[in-house]
Structure 1
């Protein structure tokens, strides 16, 4: 509860007045005690004041002084950090829709769980957030440009279709272009709203080859560009190490079972290069928890706000207690 900053520090000087009052009261009590001790006949003193004064008589004054100190803190306008909803920000959700998302290591399938969690994420974002949706497989498509219309995003999520290959870099570039377009439209003379990309994938990049890190369309290059533009990419590695899918064999007929383990390393590197965070999830509960964390980070910001109300309330309560105690113990207000 103790604030770390004040906006009207001059009022703290009033605390010296409170200290002076406390010292004055203490000196007054000492002088009164000396006057009493001037009685030379101690037997007479015992008859006049047969009992020692109750120390509770000081309680009303102590409460009043504490009330003044609390008022002093409130008057100095203390501030504290407060979590408030953002009124302008842009988020683009980038979803991997490659064939590996058919894997059923996450029941009923990676795709079904990803769709459900993504829709919950859309619903949970604060109203001031513009949310866009990009899907990528061999290429990337902006399914929904950043908007506050959550229903449009959820409808697009339900309509996602899977395709071959994985072009993670294209997904990031499409998201960057979408964010820049919105910023140019609504930014005006002001700076564009803060933005973030949330990338969920389950496997290695295949377009271009994952080892071709110098290719300008590689995900690592895209992540560095996002970093340069101040747009972090938070990545979610979704799935398990034992996922498999059935791929049609065009030559022999039938299908081949292909392993599709998650690729934590590349997604972690994308997050590191862009200044974002890396998460893992292998179930609906874990994926929902990750999205909940991102909602708190994205949808809210920390600001310093006025914290004087509580101090004034405490001051009033303690002062009222001092007055009430004085009336009960001394039948008068000190």
Structure 2
């Protein structure tokens, strides 16, 4: 938190001075009461009340003053604000290793279910596209605001649907970037922020170098969020081991300025997509938050008034 008018915080010294003055006056009243020698009469004119009650309104009033001073200093803080527009390309690995059943019912089915949920939860104004990749990358749905079309496209993702065998992570990123640049060219200068989300279970075995694609994404200021999906015990038909390998994806995310996630279950994958959705759907802005402190201060003022009326039948 920072302050637009930090010099005004010096007024807190006045609040502290009032608190000190209150304590001093209370001690003087106590000494004066002891001098009153007729104790029976003192009990009638000043009957005993719980000592803490008479300090509550004053304490609330001083707290209110402190909060109002803080609000007067115009505090600012980083606030998560929903984006009005953005472009998101979702790239899903459909290579043969995605048929491993270490994640029920299998990696690809779990990935499709999580991807559909992710797309459905994105703001309606967002352009969303879908890329499937194995040994090469194919555009299943170009970026559109019709998210139901993307969900339908996810249903069409099947093993081998994106061409020859292999895992072309670099091609998937490059294809996604091409789709974003095409959309941006149509939008002209009013281009929304963009992001690529790549899910795979292995290292790159075909196509262009993922490092080059990640570097291009960094130059275009388009972060690539990467999800490594699967476990070390994954295997496909005939007992062929297909352990998850996230090293390539981690390097891609680091180079492009995106985030890297490891998901070994359907729940972990949904959580990864949820984290990505929160970063894609919101942007951080510095905003004036003085209303928070002023509002709490006014609430404390109301409580002070209520306590004083209820206990002492007067306003503080």
Q: Given the two structures, how large is their TM-score scaled by the length of structure 2? A: 0.80
| Corresponding position of 1:249 | none
| Corresponding position of 2:289 | 307
Alignment of 1:156 with 2:153, yes or no, is: yes
Matches within 5 A, 1:215-230: 217-230=208-221
Matches within 5 A, 1:115-264: 115-161=112-158, 162=160, 163-166=163-166, 167-188=168-189, 190=190, 192-208=191-207, 217-246=208-237, 258-264=240-246
Q: How many residues align?
A: 306
Uncovered stretches (5+) of structure 1, i.e. residues with no partner: 209-216, 247-255
Matches within 5 A, 1:1-150: 4-9=1-6, 12=9, 14-15=11-12, 18-19=15-16, 45-47=36-38, 50=42, 59-150=56-147
Tell me which structure has the larger Cα radius of gyration. 1
Residue 306 to residue 263, structure 1, CA distance change in 2 (3 Å):
same
Shift of 1:265: 2.3
Shift of 1:164: 2.5
Q: Given the two structures, how large is their TM-score scaled by the length of structure 1? A: 0.76
Uncovered stretches (5+) of structure 2, i.e. residues with no partner: none
SS of corresponding position for 1:262: coil
Shift of 1:6: 3.3
The answer on whether the counterparts of 2:199 and 2:229 sit within 8 Å (CA) in structure 1 is yes
The answer on whether the counterparts of 2:124 and 2:147 sit within 8 Å (CA) in structure 1 is no
Shift of 1:230: 1.8
Distance 1:282 1:322 in 2: 54
Residue 328 to residue 182, structure 1, CA distance change in 2 (3 Å):
same
Residue 105 to residue 324, structure 1, CA distance change in 2 (3 Å):
closer
